Amino acid sequence: MNSKEKKIWIDFTDLILWDDHFTGTQRVTYEIGKRFYENLPRVSFFAFDDKSKKFYEVPFQKINERILEIKRASETESDTSQSKPSLKKNLKLVTKKVYLSLPFEVKKRITDDQKAFIKKTGKQLLSVLSLARFSSTKNLSKLIKRLDQIRFNQNDVLIILGKPWDNMFIIKELRKQKLETNFTLVHLIYDMIPVFLPHVFGKPVPKNYTEYMFEAMSISDHLVAISESTKKDIKRFCDEENLPYKPTTVIKLGDSFSGLETDKKRLSELSPKDFLLCVGTLEIRKNHILLYTAYKEGLSRGVQMPKLVIVGGKGWYTNDVLYEFENDPEMKNRVFIKNNVSDRELAWLYKNCKFTVYPSVYEGWGLPITESLAYGKMCLASGSSSMKEIAGDLIEYFSPYDSAGFLELIIKYLDEDILSKKETEIKKHYKSTNWDKTFQDFVKVIKY
Amino acid sequence: MNTEKKILVISNYPILEPLHGGQKRVAAIVKEYKKVFSEVKFVAIFVREQYPIYSKDDIYLTGEWAEKIKGNYLTSDIEIGKAMVESPDTRRKIEKLLILFQPDIIQVEQVFPFIGLKVILKDLKIHPKIVYSSQNIEAPMRREIMEISGAKKEDVREAFSVINDTEIYLAKNADLLTVVSKSDGDCYLSNGAKKYVLAMNGTGPIISNSNAKLYWKKYFQQRFVKKVALFVGSGHVPNLFGLTNMVGFRVGFIPSDSKIVIVGSVGQALSDHFDKEDILNSPFWRRVTNLGVIKREPLDGLLEYVDVILLPIIKGGGSNLKTAEAILSGKKIVATSFAFRGYEQFLKLPNIWIADTHDDFRKAVSEAFNTPTKKRTAEDVKLANNVKWDSSLKGMIAEVAKL
């Protein structure tokens, strides 16, 4: 092949290192990457190895088999990471065992301050161990042997679809090669939330994310935002950091995922139409506290609040609200927190909920809203950031800081007539975006 | 020109190994005087904790005065002036020097040594000619620095008053007043001076150091940095304000293949003076590298290597030695017009961008990075050479010799 010919390189680092549940970012990378491979000539895939700080070519077939396997597992099995005892759990168990084995006289002498110290030390140990585990899984060369090392050429177009922001080495290496060969870099940006809402993330994230975006935007030739809101935030970031604002195109991501079979075996406590559904990681940004407050207010007013199913793994700073949900007697048998559902179980939940709720403070897009609509379900969503772009007037919105307004909307849609009318409207008017359309839009960006 | 006169130069810092601008200026003056006067003596009255390198003729404070002044960077120079009279040991050494040397001319560098000298000369009843070598209009600047540093109001008032009174006294009564810029001179005229001589700050020749230049070439190549803009500054508050106001913390305008490199204690001062979060939460350090304090040799190499020199000076008195160095270097310069006060004649040289607002300054930095350096003509080189000490001090030396 003529090396001067235009060649498309798609970053599969996220995919090749992923051995967990198949989630949003991996799905986006895979669905778009696969279509590039199937529809265009001279498309290759690469991954970055942290250890050697080099890029390697990844044969699509090889990775595709593995992805399909993970995808199948995601559809039918619960989250594998949840079934294994976590590092944190193990550490807690060991500490507890050691404590229990101590003679009573010794236990008596341990002060609260000393207990706090042990807890703090444990946390520090946990973070060190987690980092060590993270680094070892990030070693690409251990996973894929005999890959070809690559250097990009001037006519190459590189597309980054994943979220490599937790690895500054990749952007450093890209910058270095870009300075040498000046290839074209197209970067998909999901959101700028850690930059503008640093308080909803753990300490290292905002700084790392900001630095990554700073470099990524400096060296990218074209940016693709997943919403107008993200595009606006990119512009804001560039203005604030005095960065040159690169051409930015908004491309809607595919959201056609309503064809899955359903599975209810492990959801015996639920019946069709007797629960509300909230999907999204349990993290401070997703604003579950508003849900708790609205529910409590509803109950205090004597409203027959339906069951509430919260689906999502545990994320940043949610211990307090989780504690409230799990220990509030009024919430017992009313709120179910599910952090290990399979895609098929999720499909059952979507199909059978009354409606969905999404009180998130800020989003780059708002996938659970799209999913809800794809299943023909009404969604009460926070009206901030990108969320109004998804369905416009088709659904209703509330302020993410207004629990009373949120409760009023919940009460409104507990009325079957109003809900059913809305569902008919959604089924009639909501148009899903298919991945082929997303792919075609990408092709336009790279002017292939 | 040669004269049999004996001249004594006094300052409150030694010049054996000059580091900061003031030291460099005095060292240059002494060097140039030695070419003209039959006997030249220099003495520093100082504290050793602040200047550990000194020569045997220098007089350091001892005992309680040394203790008192040691950690006081805001008014130590005023205290040294007072100690010249009030510390018996110091006074005895100064008197001995004056009696033995019998200078025809005493040049006081800045006002501070004169605070004590005035009393001693009166008591000894000796009347040498006095040259007041001003580096700036000190009183208002010191007041501002002390206020920013949170000094007590009464201390600020007292320091201002002592410096201001001495500056005005010297402007009116010195046999010769020398200044570093026309604007300083005009200020003294309005305070009662009859005339002044301009003795612009200059620079020594830049000594080419190919090893040091090569070192920096490799250093930046390894970091994939193609273009470098240099800011050299001490931790002096005006330097810090200049950098933060004109360059700022949002440095995305610097291309990803370029860096601003900070040399001198201003980098440390940046971390000390500002909320660390302000800097940490912005990607400031991705485009800015702090090299800290580096020695003369590597600095010469760096000056030779870099593409652009930044002079973001917006406050302070006098004139800036860094400007002289930048002018002589022939590099592209991005500066405020304030940084060029006293050097206005050099603005006609090529490769100079003047910008006085934050927006203009960063635009000028981007433009300088992207513009090739224009070669200087023979006329340009001749003009730039006027910034060397032997040229810049020529007028002053001639006037002093006439005294």
Q: Is the confidence at residue A89, as pLDDT, over 60?
A: no
Main-chain phi, psi angles of B4, to 5 degrees: -85, 0
Which of B202, B204, B83, B195 lies closest to B132, judged by CA?
B195
Q: Rounded CA gap, B182 and B345, in Å?
A: 12
Residue A156 near residue A6 (C-beta atoms within 8 A): yes
Q: Which two tokens stand for residue B297?
A: 């040799």
Q: Rounded CA gap, B58 and B15, in Å?
A: 9
How high is the pLDDT of residue A106?
A: 63
Q: Rounded CA gap, B159 and B143, in Å?
A: 7
With bands split at pLDDT 50, 70 and 90, how would you rate the model's confidence at A167? confident
The CATH superfamily holding the domain A275-432 is Glycogen Phosphorylase B; (3.40.50.2000)
Q: Nearest by CB to A211, which of B226, B257, B283?
A: B283
User: In angstroms, how far is CA A39 from the centroid of its own chain?
Assistant: 27
A294 min Cα distance to partner chain B (Å): 35
Measured between beta carbons, which residues in chain B are less than 8 angstroms from residue A214?
A: 252, 283, 286
- 8-state DSSP, B315: S
First and final C-alpha spacing in chain B: 13
Q: Rounded CA gap, A328 and A337, in Å?
A: 13
How high is the pLDDT of residue B141?
A: 87
Q: Rounded CA gap, B349 and A123, in Å?
A: 62
B267 min Cα distance to partner chain A (Å): 20
Q: Do domains A3-71+138-254+437-446 and A275-432 have the same CATH topology?
A: yes
Torsion B384-B387-B391-B395 (CA) sign: positive
Q: Do A211 and B281 touch (CB under 8 A)?
A: no
Main-chain phi, psi angles of B399, to 5 degrees: -70, -40
Domain boundaries, chain A: 3-71+138-254+437-446, 82-134, 275-432
Laid out side by side, the sheet with A222-225 consists of A148-150, A54-57, A43-49, A8-11, A157-160, A184-189, A222-225, A248-250
For residue B215, the one-letter residue type is: Y
- A36: burial class by Cβ within 10 Å (0-12, 13-18, 19+)? buried
User: In angstroms, how far is CA A54 from the centroid of its own chain?
Assistant: 27
Q: Nearest by CB to B256, which of A175, A211, A242?
A: A175
Measured between beta carbons, which residues in chain A are less than 8 angstroms from residue B280?
A: 207
ipTM of this predicted complex?
A: 0.77
Laid out side by side, the sheet with B288-292 consists of B288-292, B258-263, B227-232, B308-311, B332-335, B352-354
How high is the pLDDT of residue A395?
A: 97
Task: Tell me which fold the domain A3-71+138-254+437-446 belongs to.
Answer: Rossmann fold (3.40.50)
Chain A from 228 to 247: CB within 8 A of any B CB: 238, 240-244
Q: Is the confidence at residue A128, as pLDDT, over 50?
A: no
Q: Does pTM top 0.95 for this prediction?
A: no
With bands split at pLDDT 50, 70 and 90, how would you rate the model's confidence at A79? very low
Residue A54 near residue A204 (C-beta atoms within 8 A): no
| Nearest-10 Cα torsion for B174, B179, B182, B185 | -30
Q: Is the confidence at residue A239, as pLDDT, over 70?
A: yes
Measured between beta carbons, which residues in chain A are less than 8 angstroms from residue B257?
A: 179
Q: Do A241 and B283 touch (CB under 8 A)?
A: yes
Q: Rounded CA gap, A189 and A105, in Å?
A: 58
Measured between beta carbons, which residues in chain A are less than 8 angstroms from residue B222?
A: none
Q: Do B256 and A206 touch (CB under 8 A)?
A: no
Which residue in chain A has the smallest CA separation from B247? A242
pLDDT tens per residue across span A423-447: 999 999 999 898 999 999 999 998 8
Torsion A101-A104-A106-A111 (CA) sign: positive
pLDDT tens per residue across span A187-214: 999 999 999 999 998 888 998 999 999 9
- More confident of the two residues A404 and A333: A404
Query: Cα–Cα–Cα angle for A423, A427, A429, nearest 5°?
Result: 110
Q: Rounded CA gap, B389 and B202, in Å?
A: 5
Residues of chain B under the 70 pLDDT cut? 1-2, 273-281, 316-319
- A275: burial class by Cβ within 10 Å (0-12, 13-18, 19+)? buried
Please report how many Cα atoms fall inside a 13 Å half-sphere around the Cα of residue B15, on the Cβ side. 20
Q: Rounded CA gap, B344 and B321, in Å?
A: 14
Tell me if chain A has a CB within 8 Å of the CB of B57: no
With bands split at pLDDT 50, 70 and 90, how would you rate the model's confidence at A130? very low
Q: Do A215 and B280 touch (CB under 8 A)?
A: no
Least confident of A273-277, A384-388, B19-23, B306-310: B19-23
pLDDT tens per residue across span A8-46: 999 998 888 766 666 678 888 999 999 999 999 999 999
pLDDT tens per residue across span B202-216: 998 877 788 999 999
How high is the pLDDT of residue B178?
A: 95
Q: Rounded CA gap, A191 and A169, in Å?
A: 21
Residue A384 near residue A401 (C-beta atoms within 8 A): no
How high is the pLDDT of residue A84?
A: 43
User: In angstroms, how far is CA B300 from the centroid of its own chain?
Assistant: 17
Residue A164 vs residues A13, A133, A206, A230, B234: alpha-carbon distances, Å: 8, 18, 14, 17, 39
Tell me if chain B has a CB within 8 Å of the CB of A174: no
Residue B54 near residue B48 (C-beta atoms within 8 A): yes
DSSP string covering B18-59: --SHHHHHHHHHHHHHHTTEEEEEEEEEE-TTT-----TT-E
Measured between beta carbons, which residues in chain B are less than 8 angstroms from residue A242?
A: 248, 250-253, 362
Q: Rounded CA gap, B152 and A373, in Å?
A: 66
How high is the pLDDT of residue B272?
A: 73
Any residues with CB less than 8 A from the CB of A162 and at least 6 apart, and which? A11, A12, A13, A14, A15, A25, A26, A28, A29
Across A404-408, average pLDDT: 97
With bands split at pLDDT 50, 70 and 90, how would you rate the model's confidence at A77? low
How high is the pLDDT of residue A425?
A: 97
B286 min Cα distance to partner chain A (Å): 8
Residue B43 vs residues A86, B9, B179: alpha-carbon distances, Å: 72, 6, 21
> Could you give the angle at which helices B321-329 and B378-385 cross, rounded to 10 degrees?
160
For an interface test with A, which of B284, B286, B363, B370 has the most A Cβ atoms less than 10 Å from its Cβ? B286
